[in-house]
Amino acid sequence: MNDIFNSGLLIYLLVGIGIFFLMREVVCWYWKVNETNSLLREILTELRKGNATISSTTTNQWECPDCQTLNPNSTYECTKCGLDLNK
């Protein structure tokens, strides 16, 4: 009897988790959360490239937006944290 209760409880739990993830996807689709997130990431990447370009035109180094390390203009990857501005 106890095994039947535990397996039934497990099935209800799995179905509940499945419904939660399904409804989460519907809500994110309706409010365009995924689309907004990807657009914000693109904007951030372009801003980082712009900041690196602006600082590189005035000096021979650019400052990493994450760790504020000065890096040579010859690279677009931070020498300290590894941030790649081309991504």
Domain membership of residue 17 (yes or no) is no
Domain membership of residue 75 (yes or no) is yes
pTM: 0.46
Structure tokens at 44: 């951030």
For the cut 70, the answer to whether the pLDDT of residue 2 exceeds it is no
Domain membership of residue 27 (yes or no) is no
Domain membership of residue 50 (yes or no) is yes
> What's the pLDDT at 4?
60
> What's the pLDDT at 22?
95
> What's the pLDDT at 7?
76
86 against 37, higher pLDDT: 37
Domain membership of residue 10 (yes or no) is no
Residue 73 domain boundaries: 35-87
pLDDT tens digits along 32-72: 998 999 999 999 888 888 776 665 556 678 788 888 888 88
Domain membership of residue 11 (yes or no) is no
- Contact between 87 and 45 (Cβ < 8 Å): yes
Domain membership of residue 4 (yes or no) is no
Number of structural domains the chain divides into: 1
- Contact between 60 and 72 (Cβ < 8 Å): yes
